[in-house]
């Protein structure tokens, strides 16, 4: 056995390299003279990106099987068949397909693009090589293939067919500045407020307000990492002429409720679940809360199979569906502090999804303050509801 130590680049640097290369590719594609050339180059770059990832064989199997389905299925069944296949494939891919962080992120986007393509144009699909090429050029288009945002087939085709070859430099610069801001925030958070410190006895020994502040600042790296990646991807999409968005700069800090905060996250993916899952279920599941719970469970499943994901998403569902209105009466900046604490507290199972016991350990060090806080708001919410019902009943009396 060799005594050499294998040196690996931090995953964030690899992640950033893929994202920045996609921005450069998008600029080049935008400058190409013909739509067909743009489409072909975008497909080649996207395919090359997949080949470079660990688990590339699994991703290729996913795409290949999708092509076969598109070729053999009748147009009327393409939409539901692609949806079932795309989400069902996630289980064997994660258990047996050698999917890691980056390739898993890519698979998530491919699954959504699969469903969007089937819903948008599946009814017009033909059993032809031209139809397969049209499918591949959209699903494997290079911009945002690892991170999102996702975008419709119509947006993609309009960008590719546009006669305007100029690159929107101002929009790219704006997204780039936002990306740099969040990248710096990520580095500061992960360097000075490491997540693992909250698992130590030293953390539990600090004064509670110190633990409170440290929790928020430590978890901040998760938001910063996501936002930095999304803004780089959005810069690439802006270069190509696609105006898809995944967040709004500064909106999470302005949120007064957890619901407002959640709506600032991964906007294009939330839009996907709203358009292709939540709304179609209205006729069969009239209850808005039940539909929201099902969407949250499906979103957790889309992210992964670890129990921590389901604990997180169902916690957020409970917050937004039952007790979110209580905090809307809080004045600023208490409402913002409330949102930051609740979001940071309940996201721990997501961050420790591979070992959820670590989340419980941090919660214990925080004296389960978030859970007690939620319980108090449940009581307040019930009291407000009872008071409102009493007032309405009195108002109806003669």
CA distances from 139 to 64, 238, 244, 274, 287 (A): 12, 18, 15, 20, 33
Last residue of a domain, one of 161, 192, 212: 161
Q: What's the domain count of the chain?
A: 2
Same domain, 133 and 275: no
Same domain, 150 and 194: no
Span of 52-56, 250-254, 302-306 with lowest mean pLDDT: 250-254
Same domain, 229 and 125: no
Residues 6+ apart with CB under 8 A from 175: 231, 232, 234, 235, 238
Contact 317, 296 (CB under 8 A): yes
Instruction: State residue 25's pLDDT score.
Output: 96
Same domain, 149 and 184: no
Instruction: Specify if 183 maps to a domain.
Output: yes
Contact 51, 145 (CB under 8 A): no
The mean pLDDT value for 18-33 works out to 95
Same domain, 246 and 303: yes
Tokens for 11, please give them.
């995953």
User: DSSP readout, 140-187?
Assistant: T-STTTTT-----HHHHHHHHH-S-----HHHHHHHHHHHHHHHHHHH
For residue 113, pLDDT beyond 90: yes
DSSP label of 333: T
Domain carrying residue 105: 11-161
Instruction: Specify if 4 maps to a domain.
Output: no
Instruction: Specify if 278 maps to a domain.
Output: yes
Query: Cα–Cα distance between 70 and 63 in angstroms, integer?
Result: 10
Same domain, 125 and 259: no
Last residue of a domain, one of 121, 136, 161: 161
Query: Cα–Cα distance between 28 and 21 in angstroms, integer?
Result: 11
DSSP label of 73: S
Same domain, 335 and 209: yes
Same domain, 173 and 156: no
Instruction: Specify if 15 maps to a domain.
Output: yes
Closest CA to 361 of 134, 203, 192: 203
Last residue of a domain, one of 161, 177, 211: 161
Same domain, 251 and 298: yes
Q: What is the pLDDT confidence band of residue 276, given thresholds at 50, 70 and 90? A: very high
197-201: long-range contacts, CB 8 A cutoff, minimum separation 24: 198/362, 198/365, 199/358, 199/361, 199/362
Span of 139-143, 380-384, 389-393 with lowest mean pLDDT: 389-393
Same domain, 138 and 239: no
DSSP label of 7: P
Contact 126, 203 (CB under 8 A): no
Instruction: State residue 62's pLDDT score.
Output: 98
Q: What is the pLDDT confidence band of residue 140, given thresholds at 50, 70 and 90? A: very high
Closest CA to 178 of 102, 232, 225: 232
Higher pLDDT, 333 or 155: 155
Instruction: Specify if 3 maps to a domain.
Output: no
- Which uninterrupted H or E stretch holds 135? helix 129-139
pLDDT in tens, 84-104: 999 999 999 999 988 888 999
Instruction: Specify if 1 maps to a domain.
Output: no
Instruction: Specify if 106 maps to a domain.
Output: yes
Instruction: State residue 6's pLDDT score.
Output: 40
CA atoms lying within 13 Å on the CB side of residue 339: 25
* Torsion-angle region of 73 (φ positive above 0: left; ψ -120 to 50: alpha; else: beta): beta
Contact 114, 86 (CB under 8 A): yes
Same domain, 123 and 210: no
Tokens 């939540």 appear where?
A: 278
Instruction: Specify if 6 maps to a domain.
Output: no
Tokens 């070729």 appear where?
A: 71
DSSP label of 99: -
Same domain, 145 and 200: no
For residue 56, pLDDT beyond 50: yes
Higher pLDDT, 336 or 123: 336
Instruction: State residue 11's pLDDT score.
Output: 83
């Amino acid at each position: 056995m060799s005594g050499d130590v294998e040196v690996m680049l931090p995953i964030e640097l690899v992640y950033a390299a893929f994202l920045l290369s996609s921005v450069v590719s998008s600029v080049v594609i935008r400058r190409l003279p013909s739509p067909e050339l743009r489409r072909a180059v975008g497909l080649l770059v996207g395919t090359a990106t997949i080949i470079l990832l660990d688990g590339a064989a699994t991703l290729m199997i996913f795409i290949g099987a999708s092509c076969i389905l598109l070729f053999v299925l009748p147009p009327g069944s393409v939409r539901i068949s692609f949806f079932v296949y795309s989400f069902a494939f996630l289980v064997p891919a994660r258990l047996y397909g050698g999917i890691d962080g980056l390739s898993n992120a890519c698979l998530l986007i491919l699954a959504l693009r699969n469903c969007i393509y089937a819903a948008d144009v599946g009814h017009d699909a033909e059993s032809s090589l031209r139809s397969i090429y049209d499918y591949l050029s959209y699903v494997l288009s290079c911009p945002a293939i690892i991170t999102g945002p996702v975008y419709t087939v119509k947006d993609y085709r309009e960008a590719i067919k546009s006669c305007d070859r100029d690159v929107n430099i101002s929009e790219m610069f704006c997204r780039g500045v936002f990306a740099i801001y969040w990248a710096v925030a990520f580095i500061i958070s992960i360097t000075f407020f490491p997540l693992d410190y909250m698992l130590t006895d030293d953390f539990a020994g600090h004064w509670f307000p110190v633990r409170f502040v440290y929790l928020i600042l430590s978890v901040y790296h998760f938001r910063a990492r996501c936002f930095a990646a999304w803004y780089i991807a959005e810069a690439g999409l802006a270069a190509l002429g696609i105006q898809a968005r995944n967040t709004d700069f500064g909106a999470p800090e302005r949120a007064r409720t957890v619901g407002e905060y959640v709506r600032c996250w991964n906007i294009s993916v939330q839009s996907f679940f709203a358009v292709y899952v939540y709304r179609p279920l209205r006729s069969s599941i009239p209850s808005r809360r039940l539909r929201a719970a099902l969407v949250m469970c499906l979103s957790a499943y889309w992210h992964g199979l670890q129990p921590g994901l389901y604990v997180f998403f169902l916690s957020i569902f409970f917050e937004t569906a039952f007790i979110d209105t209580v905090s809307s009466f809080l004045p600023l900046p208490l409402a913002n502090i409330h949102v930051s604490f609740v979001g940071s507290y309940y996201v721990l199972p997501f961050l420790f999804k591979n070992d959820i016991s670590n989340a419980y350990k941090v919660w214990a060090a925080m004296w389960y303050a978030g859970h007690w806080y939620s319980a108090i708001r449940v009581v307040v919410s019930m009291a407000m509801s009872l008071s409102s019902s009493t007032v309405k009943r009195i108002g109806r009396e003669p």
